[in-house]
Amino acid sequence: MKIILFSRSQLAHTAEEIGQLFEAIRLAGFDYALNEEFAPVVRELAGIDVPPEKIYGEHLAPQPEGSIMVCYGGDGTLLEGVHRLCGARLPVLGINAGHLGFLTSAPSDGLDLLFEEIASGRMQTEPRTMIRVEGDFSGEPCSHLALNEFAIQRHGPDMISVETYVDDQMVATYHGDGVIVSTPTGSTAYSLSAGGPVVAPACRCLVLSPLAPHNLTMRPVVIPDTSEITLHVHARRSDAFITLDNRSYPIGAGSAFTVRRAEEPIFLAVPHNISFYDTLRNKMMWGIDIRS
């Protein structure tokens, strides 16, 4: 079995945590590979020289059966790691070394037990819907897939208009800061901050969430994930840009995009004692009495 490590160099890593991570991998008897940005950090902080054949770049080559990607950081780290897979059906485990961590639900303490769970085959996986976006990109994106959301946003002082259709039926023209198309996984990310609903990951739906709409009666809309969403952007005096998860691209006025559920799901590895509702309750601090 092989561990595909991914982390970002800008995170506040420590020599102790990196040493614990590699020692846990060694004790579990795993082979490993890690991304080229993380390798110098490992060498500098922990004194571990990683052989060149164990380092991968922007795109991950095909890996042995039974491999698992382990993203060490926060949710942004996991999203970036997922894009390195390029649609490969490897389970992805997020170890939370960040803050909120809806996707990186595994704690960073107890790594030995975590890798023992992987080695014994007790690690459960959950399929998570991704979306595929096609349209008028200013340049070819590194990936057309998104796990959390696709968003169209203004870039300037003036509002933009996004004419939105679902299966060729007009939903609305969103006048304001833009609109988000979110997966159930992404419902606890940008869409949530825009007033969208929390959606359980097993739901087969997508969410349209307007961003600061000029019409205050506009609300998020939940639609089947079998739908095809078409968005036409109108920006008279303001630039606009789009984001696929944590990647952004400028776009011109008159751009159009189509969003569909991707054929490629992501399989999120989840420790057996951590559920979505546990994570939701703990991260959102629901049920905590703040009156005292």
Tokens standing for residue 205 = 């739906």
Q: Specify the length of the chain in residues.
A: 292
What is the four-CA torsion angle of 146, 155, 37, 45, rounded to 10 degrees? -120
Instruction: State the Cα–Cα distance between residues 243 and 63, nearest whole angstrom.
Output: 29
**Cα dihedral across residues 165, 171, 172, 178: positive or negative:** negative
**CB atoms near residue 43 (< 10 Å):** 13
Amino acid at 227: S
What is the four-CA torsion angle of 283, 285, 287, 292, rounded to 10 degrees? 160
Instruction: State the Cα–Cα distance between residues 288 and 124, nearest whole angstrom.
Output: 29
**Residue 75 bears catalytic tag:** yes
Instruction: State the Cα–Cα distance between residues 255 and 232, nearest whole angstrom.
Output: 6
**Catalytic: which of 31, 75, 158, 168?**
75
Residues identified as active-site: 75
